[in-house]
Amino acid sequence: MRPLPRLFAVTDHAVRTRHHLGATAAALASVGPAVALLARDPKATGSELTGFAAALLHHVRPYEAALFVTGRPDVAAGLGAHGLHLSAADLTPRDARVLMPHAWIGRSAHTAVEGATAVEEGADFLMAGNVYEAASHPGRPAAGLGLIETLASLGRPVIAFGGITHENVWAVKHAGAYGVAAIRALWHAPRPAQAALQMLEPWM
């Protein structure tokens, strides 16, 4: 199994439906194996998510970047994705591994209890947050760096998300994060590849 990427460029509905998606996806993927494009859109149908993820896979392959899919192990397995991200409401990582025995399977954790449960259920890594206030999670208070410190003690790589920018990645790294995930800081950046490199700087 290839190393877990350090930077996850997470999509949402707005990203999936934008006109210049391909150019941005290619720019982010060009940074290489440390980057994963995470196909996520809660509003998408199964066929829409499949088509979208397939398009992202086309962009990651030339640069050996990774493709991850949120919530749909059938879609991820069918495309040969490198990994899967599950929410607390999805099936367990252990169950998903039936379809993806050689892929990275992670789970969201908003609390220490959710993190411990995810590890017990076979998660390879934890998506922890939201660390800071984030537009993608309106109304949800920031968990803070303490969540990263707590989850890092569980012995799984922790990917921090929620309000992550190049200005706070060092603090997140020092709290114990293996890597970070972001939407706006990457997909809406005027220079996506440069933005990705800035986000990766603490781990380079």
**Is residue 2 included in any domain, yes or no?**
no
Q: 89 in helix, strand or coil?
A: coil
Instruction: Give this prediction's pTM.
Output: 0.96
**Residue 97's domain spans which residues?**
7-203
DSSP secondary structure letters along 114-177: HHHHHHHTT-SEEEE--SS--TTSTTPPP--HHHHHHHHTTTS-EEE-SS--TTTHHHHHHTT-
Residue 43 near residue 167 (C-beta atoms within 8 A): no
Q: What is the mean pLDDT of each run of 10 residues along the chain (204 residues)?
A: 96 90 96 98 94 97 98 97 95 96 97 97 96 72 91 98 96 98 96 98 96
Provide, rounded to the nearest whole percent, the portion of the chain with pLDDT above 90: 90
**Is residue 98 included in any domain, yes or no?**
yes
3-state helix, strand, coil in the chain (%, to 5): 40, 15, 45
**Is residue 59 included in any domain, yes or no?**
yes
**Is residue 50 included in any domain, yes or no?**
yes
**Is residue 119 included in any domain, yes or no?**
yes
Within 10 A of 118 (CB to CB), how many other CB atoms are there?
Answer: 27
pLDDT tens digits along 129-188: 899 986 666 667 788 999 999 999 999 999 999 999 999 999 999 999 999 999 999 999
In the chain, the number of structural domains is 1
- CATH classification of the domain holding 34: 3.20.20.70
**Is residue 63 included in any domain, yes or no?**
yes
